Amino acid sequence: MISILLIVACQACKDDGTTPEVPQRITLTLIDAAVQEAYLHIAVNSPANNETLSLQRDGSTVLTFAVVADTNIADTALTQTSTYQYTATLQTANATTGKGNTLAVQTLAPTSHDWHFTIDSLGVASSTLYDVAIISDSSAWVVGELYLRDSSGNVDPVLYNAAHWNGTTWKCKRIRVLYRGSWILPQLNAIFAFSATDIWLSSGVPIHGDGQNWTQYHLFDMGILSQSDGSINKIWGNNSSDLWFVGNRGTIAHYTSGTWQRVESGTTVNLLDVWGSPDGSVVWACGWEDFQPTVLLRGIGSTWEKRYEDPYPFVLRRDSLSGIISSVWTPVTNRIFAATGYGIYDSPANTRGAARLSTFAALYLPGFPFRIRGAATNDFFVVGENSMVAHFNGLTWQYYGQLYDENIRLRSVAHKGRSLFCTGHTLDPFYRRAVVVRGTR
């Protein structure tokens, strides 16, 4: 009886010549693809300490590392307008213990630098424009202070605080709001538009309207902000029920589905700009003022934290953030672009200062940058002092030196479709005029 059992046992242990199937334990997903790089998320089911992960591109191993449950990687050795196949395997010293899905990635093509510009002058003495929003190729709004001449040729002392472009001409507007029972005509310093009938403004406090009728939300009178807070400088949102407002003294306010909330920023520095990822999951703000550090803030949910601070932003570093951070922008969740006097820094979303400098200048830019905006990672602009306008197409920079004018300061820019609008003013202290640089492609 024992011998029979031994025979059966031996037969059961006999090698049948088949290889055990490797389980699928790795999930590869694409975060973003640019012109020469791809950003991947790698998730591993039940990673073991003795396992390593090998990432393959088109059948060749491009990266090997000790396995972790979740990680993001950047593959920066790619060619434009090419398709790549990624997969991954888990290995121990003796065996392959896991495999991943196959992920196809298509890199982008560089966009065209072929932009044609027209310079418009609006208003007369003491006129300036602070911000711009594009509705479509034939509709844009600018806000600021505009003074026109009256029928007798004298300067009308009652300002126009906005102007609308209809695809052919500019029409100056007076946007009035009700404040404590009276209609007032506030100076406007920021605009963010979702459509022609869904526009947000700032006069230091938020204003919302449909292009004709406007409602002011005086956050100080409403008890949302206190006298220790500052006025609102910039606006961003991914829809009209979820917006962020940043301003002086580190002030941040959040509007969500009809509810206002003051949010702690962790800084008292004046916040100059705000922008977030398309899905609104990550929001960024930056700031600076004289004798104070420059800061980069990140907001996830209702929690904001200081990701970077530099009390002496006057030393150039090419592999980490440096310089005064004046503007932030991103079209993706995993990266943030920050403008400083040294150029544009490309940082990962988990940055504590890590960044790559991208610039078209040997040292300093032709003018201090006031704003960076764009349509995609291969199609964005930076504008600033000396009528500086420059475009990045995902591969190279193009600086439009023909626009250089040391008497013009461009404060803001918007890019959508085939249209570009840059707004600012001349620097003449007595006859300052508002300026719009319009671009078409």
Q: What is the pLDDT of residues 381-396, one digit of tens each?
A: 999 999 999 999 999 9
The CA-based angle 184-187-190, given to 5 degrees, is 125
Measured between alpha carbons, how far apart are the two ends of the chain, in Å?
Answer: 90
Q: pTM above the 0.85 mark?
A: yes
Which is it for the CA torsion 233, 239, 243, 244, positive or negative? Answer: negative
CB within 8 Å of 57: residues ≥ 6 apart: 75, 84, 85, 86
Q: Reduce the secondary structure of 307-340 to three states and give it as a string.
A: EEEECCCCCCCCCECCCCCCEEECCCCCEEEEEE
pLDDT of residue 61: 97
347: helix, strand or coil? strand
pLDDT of residue 364: 84
pLDDT for residue 417: 93
The confidence score (pLDDT) of residue 18 equals 63
Rounded distance between C-alpha atoms, residue 441 and residue 133, angstroms: 18
Are 35 and 110 spatial neighbours (Cβ–Cβ below 8 Å)? yes
Task: Bin 211: left if φ > 0, else alpha if -120 < ψ < 50, else beta.
Answer: left
Tokens standing for 167? Answer: 């695809």
| Distance in angstroms (rounded) separating the CA atoms of residues 351 and 355 | 7
- The pLDDT, as a whole number, for residue 16 is 57
Q: What is the pLDDT of residue 7?
A: 32
10-residue block means of pLDDT along the chain (441 residues)? 36 55 96 96 96 98 96 95 98 96 98 98 95 98 97 93 98 98 97 98 98 98 97 97 98 97 97 98 96 96 96 93 98 96 95 95 91 98 98 97 98 98 94 97 95
Parallel, antiparallel or unpaired: strands 271-276 and 198-202:
unpaired
- Beta-bridged to residue 63, according to DSSP, are 55
HEC string for 271-316: EEEEEECCCCCCEEEEECCCCCCEEEEEEECCEEEEEEEECCCCCC
Domains and CATH numbers, the chain: 21-106 (2.60.40.10), 116-440 (2.130.10.10)
Q: Is 167 strand, coil or helix?
A: coil
Side by side, the strands of the sheet bearing 128-136 are 128-136, 139-146, 160-165, 170-173
